[in-house]
Amino acid sequence: MNQGNLPFEDILFPSVVRENWQMMQWERIAITGVLARTRPSVALEIGVYYGGSLSLTSQFSSRIIAIDIDPAVPNRFDVPSNVELRIGDSGTLIPQALDDIRASGDALNFVLIDADHSSSGIKRDIEAVLKYQPKEPLIILMHDSGNPECRKGILAADWQANEFVHMVDCDFVPGQIIEHSVVDGRGEVWGGFAIAYLNGNRRAGPLHVGQGARTSIECLHAHMNSTPSEH
Ligand SMILES: C[S@@+](CC[C@H](N)C(=O)[O-])C[C@H]1O[C@@H](n2cnc3c(N)ncnc32)[C@H](O)[C@@H]1O
């Protein structure tokens, strides 16, 4: 190992933007693992905020198109040289980004969806990405799949429409009650990653949209909707 006596975070997450990174440690490790194993030629990140996840994606990808609606985003961090940061609504900018990727001839290998967290917003972003026909393996991660609204959007998306989708699981990383949201013993469920796997081959059979931690997540949602005296 021989990394000296560096702080723990510098060993696990070197050279990333940690301030305001909207992901938990276990999510950061999961996304690091996916990126380290896939080393994307082209990545698409939707929802940048302060650049936390983007600073990680940019370490493992050759080219990244990053989209955020907030015009303040480019002033919040040093944009890495392999990132094309585009400001505007994902509804317009995802189709444009996919057109540019197709025109370049390069393969899109990784997408992170972490922008509009309404169920309709997530569904819209997923279905925009699903217009892409992959030439190579493509992994789509969707953050906050543990949140009831976000999950509704992920489940409502028309996954069947893309014949190159082979696997979807809402609980690749299960969401959690976020500790800093807890008041009177009751808190909100956020975080988690849903995952979808696509490749250049057409799917042979029907597609099952999995919920690998369904029972745990339903218990958490029941907790969210309970009154404190019911605990
Ligand atoms: C939760 S933050 C993203 C966090 C980031 N991925 C990280 O790792 O810290 C959500 C971001 O999505 C952006 N956003 C919300 N709605 C959007 C939309 N319709 N189009 C593009 N970006 C949007 C917000 O401006 C915000 O910066």
Q: Give 62-111 pLDDT, tens digit per residue.
A: 999 999 999 999 999 999 999 999 999 999 999 999 999 999 999 999 99
Q: For 181-221, how does the pLDDT look when each residue is reduced to its tens digit (9 = 90+)? A: 999 889 999 999 999 999 999 999 899 999 999 999 999 99
Q: Which of 68, 73, 147 to mutate to test the pocket of ligand 1 (most atoms within 8 A of CB)?
A: 68
- pLDDT class for 147, splitting at 50, 70, 90? very high
In terms of phi and psi (left: phi > 0; alpha: psi -120 to 50; beta: otherwise), the region of 4 is left
- Give the distance (Å) from ligand 1 centre to CA of residue 139: 19
The confidence score (pLDDT) of residue 91 equals 98
Q: How far apart are CA 201 and CA 171, in angstroms?
A: 24
What is the average pLDDT across 15-21?
89
- Give the distance (Å) from ligand 1 centre to CA of residue 67: 8
The confidence score (pLDDT) of residue 225 equals 85
User: For a pLDDT cut of 70, what percent of the chain falls above it?
Assistant: 97
The confidence score (pLDDT) of residue 184 equals 87
**Residue nearest (by alpha carbon) to ligand 1 atom 2:** 49
3-state helix, strand, coil in the chain (%, to 5): 40, 20, 40
The confidence score (pLDDT) of residue 228 equals 66
CATH of 18-200+208-230, one of 3.40.50.150, 3.40.50.720, 3.60.20.30, 3.40.50.2300: 3.40.50.150
Residue 139 pLDDT greater than 90, yes or no = yes
Q: How far apart are CA 219 and CA 231, in angstroms?
A: 12
Beta pairing, strands 138-143 & 108-113: parallel
Residue 56 pLDDT greater than 70, yes or no = yes
The confidence score (pLDDT) of residue 1 equals 65
The confidence score (pLDDT) of residue 230 equals 63
